[in-house]
Structure 1
Amino acid sequence: MAVHTEWPNVFELRLHISPSLGGLGQREPDVIIQSLEDSSAVWRGRLVGKGQFEIELASKWLHQCETQHDTVKPSGLAQSYWVKKRQKLPSSFRCIDVRRWCLAKPGQKCRYLALSYVWGQKKVFQCTRTNVSNLEKDHGLALVRDQLPRTITDAIQLTAAMGEQYLWVDSICIVQDDDKNKQEQLSAMDAIYCVAALTIVSTSGTEASSGLSGLSPGSRTSIQHVEAVQGLKLVNSLPKVQKGANHTVWNSRGWTYQERVLSQRLLFITSSQIIFKCPHSTAYEDKLSEGIETLNNPVLDKNRTWMDVDHDPDRIELRKKINFISYVNLVEDYTPRKLSFSADILNAFTGCMSELEFTFRGTFLYGLPDTELDSAILWQPHGMIRRRIDPKTNVPLFPSWSWAGWEG
Structure 2
Amino acid sequence: MVSVCTTCKGLQKHLQALGSGIQETNSASLRWLSTTLPSLRCSTNEGCRACATLLQGILLHHDRFVGVKEERIRISAESFHQSGSTPSRQDTQDHLSVEVRWKEPGDDCYDGDEHGHDQVYPDLKLEFFTDGDGQSPFSAIGRGRQISENPLQDSGLSMARSMINECLSRHSRCRRTKPTTLPKRVLDVLLEDGSKGIRLHESDFDYDEQRYEFGEFLTLSHCWGAGRSVLKTTSKTLQTHKKNIPWSTLPRTFQDAVVLTRALGFRWLWIDSLCIVQDDSSEKLRASTHMDDIFTNSFLTIAATSAAESTDGLFLPKARPFKIQATDSKGSLYRIYVREQPPHYSFKAPFNEGAHMNDWELPFNPSEEANLQTPLLKRAWAYAERLISPRVLHFTKSEMILECREGYQCECGRIGDSVFDSRTTDSVKQEYARIISENEVRGDHANGNNNRIDSVASQLAATSLTDADKGISKRREEAIQLWSYIVTEYTARNLTYDADRLVAIIGIAKTLAGILQSGYIAGQWTFSTLGLLWHPNDSALCRRPNNVSQNIPSWSWASLEGSPIFFDNLMAMDLACTASFPSERGRSPAWSPTTGDALELTAAMATEVTFRVDGPSEYSLVKDGISVDFRPDISPPRGEDSLESGETLICVLVSMTFRSSIIGLVLKQSVSSAQTYRRVGRFECYECQRDGTDEEPNDAESLFGHWFPEIEDMTQLDDGPQRTFIVV
Quick check: TM above 0.5?
yes
1:234-261 superposed Cα distances (whole Å, 9 cap, x missing partner):
5334433226895232122221111122
Paired residues of 1:35 and 1:44 also in contact (CA < 8 A): yes
Classify 1:114/1:310 alpha carbon distance in 2 versus 1 (closer, same or farther; 3 Å).
farther
Aligned to 1:96, the other structure's residue is in SS state strand
* Partner AA of 2:319 in structure 1: S
CA distance in 2, matches of 1:239, 1:222: 10
* Partner AA of 1:136 in structure 2: K
How far is 1:366 from its partner? 0.5
> Structure 1 stretch 253-262 or stretch 236-245: which is displaced more?
236-245
Q: Aligned residues: percent identity?
A: 26
Classify 1:344/1:72 alpha carbon distance in 2 versus 1 (closer, same or farther; 3 Å).
closer
Paired residues of 2:346 and 2:377 also in contact (CA < 8 A): no
Classify 1:336/1:398 alpha carbon distance in 2 versus 1 (closer, same or farther; 3 Å).
same
Task: Show the counterpart of 1:149.
Answer: 251
Classify 1:70/1:229 alpha carbon distance in 2 versus 1 (closer, same or farther; 3 Å).
farther
Aligned to 2:485, the other structure's residue is in SS state helix
Classify 1:131/1:314 alpha carbon distance in 2 versus 1 (closer, same or farther; 3 Å).
same
| Mapping of residues 213-362 of structure 1, within 5 Å | 213-214=315-316, 220-227=317-324, 228=326, 233=336, 235-242=338-345, 246-247=370-371, 248-287=374-413, 311-315=425-429, 316-319=432-435, 320=439, 321-322=475-476, 323=478, 324-362=480-518
How far is 1:353 from its partner? 1.4
Structure 1 spans left out of the alignment, 5+ residues: 215-219, 301-306
Classify 1:28/1:176 alpha carbon distance in 2 versus 1 (closer, same or farther; 3 Å).
farther
CA distance in 2, matches of 1:189, 1:72: 18
1:200-241 superposed Cα distances (whole Å, 9 cap, x missing partner):
111222211111124xxxxx0323224458679453344332
| Mapping of residues 190-205 of structure 1, within 5 Å | 190-205=292-307
Classify 1:224/1:213 alpha carbon distance in 2 versus 1 (closer, same or farther; 3 Å).
same
Classify 1:244/1:48 alpha carbon distance in 2 versus 1 (closer, same or farther; 3 Å).
farther
1:274-317 superposed Cα distances (whole Å, 9 cap, x missing partner):
22222334332345x89xxx99xxx99xxxxxx99973333222
Does 2:532 align with 1:377? yes
- Indicate the structure (1 or 2) with the bigger Cα radius of gyration: 2
Does 2:214 align with 1:109? yes
Paired residues of 1:174 and 1:181 also in contact (CA < 8 A): yes
User: Which one scores higher on RCO, CA 8 angstroms, separation ≥ 6?
Assistant: 1
CA distance in 2, matches of 1:14, 1:390: 50
Paired residues of 2:256 and 2:315 also in contact (CA < 8 A): no
CA distance in 2, matches of 1:44, 1:108: 48
Paired residues of 1:368 and 1:376 also in contact (CA < 8 A): yes
1:21-74 superposed Cα distances (whole Å, 9 cap, x missing partner):
7567644652232544657x9x96234344666233212221222223324657
How far is 1:396 from its partner? 7.6
Task: Show the counterpart of 1:304.
Answer: none
Aligned to 1:276, the other structure's residue is in SS state strand
Does 2:169 align with 1:67? yes
TM-score (norm 1): 0.78
1:155-176 superposed Cα distances (whole Å, 9 cap, x missing partner):
1111112222111111011122
CA distance in 2, matches of 1:194, 1:222: 34
Aligned to 1:275, the other structure's residue is in SS state strand
Paired residues of 2:544 and 2:559 also in contact (CA < 8 A): yes
Paired residues of 1:203 and 1:244 also in contact (CA < 8 A): no
How far is 1:14 from its partner? 2.9
1:162 alignment partner, one of 240, 264, 270: 264
Paired residues of 1:390 and 1:397 also in contact (CA < 8 A): no
Paired residues of 2:303 and 2:394 also in contact (CA < 8 A): yes
| Larger strand percent | 2
Paired residues of 1:388 and 1:397 also in contact (CA < 8 A): no
> For the aligned residues, what is the CA RMSD?
3.6
Paired residues of 1:280 and 1:308 also in contact (CA < 8 A): no
How far is 1:401 from its partner? 0.3
1:96 alignment partner, one of 172, 180, 187: 187
* Partner AA of 2:343 in structure 1: K
Paired residues of 1:96 and 1:102 also in contact (CA < 8 A): yes
1:73-127 superposed Cα distances (whole Å, 9 cap, x missing partner):
57xxxx5xx67xx57x7xx622111112111246553111111110011322211
How far is 1:326 from its partner? 0.8
Classify 1:243/1:133 alpha carbon distance in 2 versus 1 (closer, same or farther; 3 Å).
same
Task: Show the counterpart of 2:558.
Answer: 404
> Structure 1 stretch 232-241 or stretch 122-131: which is displaced more?
232-241
Paired residues of 1:28 and 1:242 also in contact (CA < 8 A): no
Classify 1:64/1:336 alpha carbon distance in 2 versus 1 (closer, same or farther; 3 Å).
closer
TM-score (norm 2): 0.46
Paired residues of 2:174 and 2:391 also in contact (CA < 8 A): no
CA distance in 2, matches of 1:6, 1:332: 38
CA distance in 2, matches of 1:229, 1:358: 65
Classify 1:244/1:375 alpha carbon distance in 2 versus 1 (closer, same or farther; 3 Å).
closer
Paired residues of 1:281 and 1:309 also in contact (CA < 8 A): no
CA distance in 2, matches of 1:328, 1:355: 15
* Partner AA of 2:339 in structure 1: N
Classify 1:229/1:285 alpha carbon distance in 2 versus 1 (closer, same or farther; 3 Å).
farther
Classify 1:30/1:93 alpha carbon distance in 2 versus 1 (closer, same or farther; 3 Å).
farther
Aligned to 1:14, the other structure's residue is in SS state strand
* Partner AA of 1:115 in structure 2: L
* Partner AA of 1:185 in structure 2: A
CA distance in 1, matches of 2:550, 2:171: 47
Classify 1:244/1:333 alpha carbon distance in 2 versus 1 (closer, same or farther; 3 Å).
closer
Aligned to 2:269, the other structure's residue is in SS state strand
Paired residues of 1:175 and 1:182 also in contact (CA < 8 A): yes
> Structure 1 stretch 358-367 or stretch 326-335: which is displaced more?
358-367
Paired residues of 2:257 and 2:314 also in contact (CA < 8 A): yes
1:32 alignment partner, one of 123, 126, 132: 126
Task: Show the counterpart of 2:725.
Answer: none
CA distance in 1, matches of 2:481, 2:122: 26
Classify 1:26/1:309 alpha carbon distance in 2 versus 1 (closer, same or farther; 3 Å).
closer
CA distance in 2, matches of 1:30, 1:194: 38
CA distance in 1, matches of 2:169, 2:422: 17
How far is 1:182 from its partner? 2.2
Paired residues of 1:45 and 1:237 also in contact (CA < 8 A): no
